[in-house]
Amino acid sequence: MAARRSLTALTGVVMLGLVVTACEDHALGTIELRTERESVEVLSDPSVKGCHRFREGVVHVNNQTLNDIILYTTPDCTEPKGAESVYLPTETSDEAVRSTGLWRSFTVVH
């Protein structure tokens, strides 16, 4: 009986490890976007790797993932001279202001 419990516990630990490892490549949750034309888009479980380009300029972002994100006004996740990115923690939202321009891309903080 003790061997069976040990095997069950070991199996549970291995499964948990596989789930955690699989989730490392994605920010679990959603990012809700509102574009300049008032259309709403939802991105689910975005990859934590690389730059993510928005289809069009975004005026509002609601970060409902388990990771923080960084918003950029450029399509390639770079900061042009004199401009700044916006750090958006998990479970928060932000609106673009006219002086900085629309958001064009984002990266996930990992």
Task: Read off the CATH number of the domain in which 72 is found.
Answer: 2.60.20
39 lies in some domain: yes
Per the structure, how many domains does the chain have? Answer: 1
Lookup: tokens for 49 = 């790797």
Q: Which pLDDT score, from 0 to 100, does residue 3 have?
A: 57
Instruction: Kindly report, residue by residue over 84-93, the tens digit of the pLDDT.
Output: 899 999 999 9
| DSSP SS3 for 81 | coil
List the domain range (segments joined by +) for residue 48. Answer: 26-108
Q: Which pLDDT score, from 0 to 100, does residue 62 have?
A: 97
CA dist 108 and 110 (Å) reads 6
Instruction: Kindly report, residue by residue over 8-17, the tens digit of the pLDDT.
Output: 555 554 454 4
3 lies in some domain: no
Q: Which pLDDT score, from 0 to 100, does residue 7 have?
A: 53
Its pTM stands at 0.76
Stronger pLDDT, 19 or 69, i.e. the higher one: 69
